[in-house]
Structure 1
Amino acid sequence: MPSTTGTAPSGRAPGPAASEQARHRADDILFGERGSRVYALLTPRLLRGVYRRIAEDVADAAPTGGRLLDVGTGPGTMLDAIARYRPDLELRGADPSPGMVAEAGRRLGPLGAGARVLLGSSEELPFPDASFDTVLSTFSLHHWGDPAAAVPELHQVLRPGGRLVVYDVPQAPFRILARTAEDQGLFTGDTARSTLIRTPNPIAPAVVRFVRTATPLD
């Protein structure tokens, strides 16, 4: 009799549906209210060197007085780090987890109106068209439900000539981003390159940095 629980029969690897269900369950645990609180406490310590390196990289390239969006911002750790280097930037974040949005609000509260985080996903962002000079994502791409659907949404909130910058582990679906961006003609740029970021903690010793420039719409 076929299984109706979503668990693969003994001796067989779980199918795509079961694997997707398991991923969603893991995300619910990690990004729920309690998981968000633990994540907000641990990641700044565990990935301090990586966050600092990325914040410096992004801060160096952002235009003076520009607007930056961090997609999948989590508890706002990266926005907080960027603000320390570039207080002139107007910072916004989006995350699909209410728990993470609440944690980000607590972390970024001292920055006032200069940094705000709203509920939203890479496929559905709560911001006007052409409102950002830089769209950033750090270690969230591998959680996106539909990276191909995210590409036009990311382009839509970027100003023409704005930069999309994505950092994640090498296993993240960068190929889907690159192929979709090329097929739809929404972004230009070189292929993703691997950048080794050295940190005292070996959790993320190798990070892929993916950069594209938004093309104007006809």
Structure 2
Amino acid sequence: MHNAHTSTRHSEPEDIFRGRSSRVYDRATRWLLRGLYRRIAEDIADSAPDRATVLDVGTGPGHLVTSIARLRPDLDLIGVDLSPDMIAQAEQNLRPYGTRATARTADAADLPFADSSIGLIVSSYSLHHWDNPGAVVPELGRVLAPGGRLYIYDWRNAPFTKVDEAAREHGVLTGRPHRRTLIRTGTPVQPHVVRHVMTNPE
């Protein structure tokens, strides 16, 4: 479903996320998953600190970022994705929001951000694409500010337990007990999604 093009190695993105396929994907998800993006954006809009930097990992064509931008004009929004073609689509979609909503190519296991520089991280339908959650999780914990939250949305069978194990192993995202819930999206093609919330220690 969602973009999710993250990797723990510098490999080529899947064909569906390249070239003309990325443009078709952009148009399809824009309409089919509007309700899903809106539901997730509401979560993030309610939770993000004032004037925070919010990072969308596996942003694809940037539809979640645009949904958040409409609700929270005070936020600095950044989308990252492994696919240059998806980032090109995201840049077009984010253009109306100027410098407060940007996108860039990046590997989730090697993010180009300073320690503790991100106020909140969100990732939707990306986890099941991660080659090695054990490499991604400590990197997310590194860039996330103390007390910052990570919101992961994905299928029920996505490897959430591997994320929890990596967090314990590396001592990140252990600030509060992890919360995993099944929520309604209002989207017929994807009526439910698992929401997994983790918090960095203060």
1:91 to 77, 80, 88: 77
Mapping 1:1-218, distance limit 5 Å: 28-188=14-174, 189-201=176-188, 203-215=189-201
Amino acid corresponding to residue 32 of structure 1 in structure 2:
R
Q: Deviations over 1:64-117 (max 9, x none)?
A: 111100000000000000000000000011100001000000000111111111
Shift of 1:49: 1.1
Distance in 2, Cα, partners of 1:213 & 1:171: 22
Question: AA paired with 1:187?
Answer: L
Which segments of 5 or more consecutive residues in structure 2 lack a partner in the other structure? Answer: 1-10
What's the RMSD between the two structures over aligned residues? 1.6
8 Å Cα contact 1:169-1:204 kept in structure 2 = no
Tell me which amino acid in the other structure corresponds to 1:215: P
User: 2-side partners of 1:150 and 1:207: how far apart?
Assistant: 21
Q: Secondary structure at the match of 1:187?
A: coil
Q: Could you tell me which runs of 5 or more consecutive residues in structure 1 were left unpaired when the two chains were aligned.
A: 1-23
TM-score scaled to structure 1, two decimals? Answer: 0.83
- Do the aligned partners of 1:192 and 1:208 also contact (CA within 8 Å) in 2? no
Alignment partners' CA distance in 2, 1:200 and 1:98: 28
Amino acid at match of 2:177: D
Q: Distance in 2 between matches of 1:159 and 1:93?
A: 17
Paired-residue identity, %? 46
Q: Number of aligned residue pairs: give it.
A: 191
Tell me by how many angstroms 1:180 deviates: 1.1
TM, length-normalised to structure 2: 0.89
In structure 2, the CA distance between the partners of 1:198 and 1:72, relative to structure 1 (3 Å rule), is closer
The one-letter code of the counterpart of 1:190 is: P
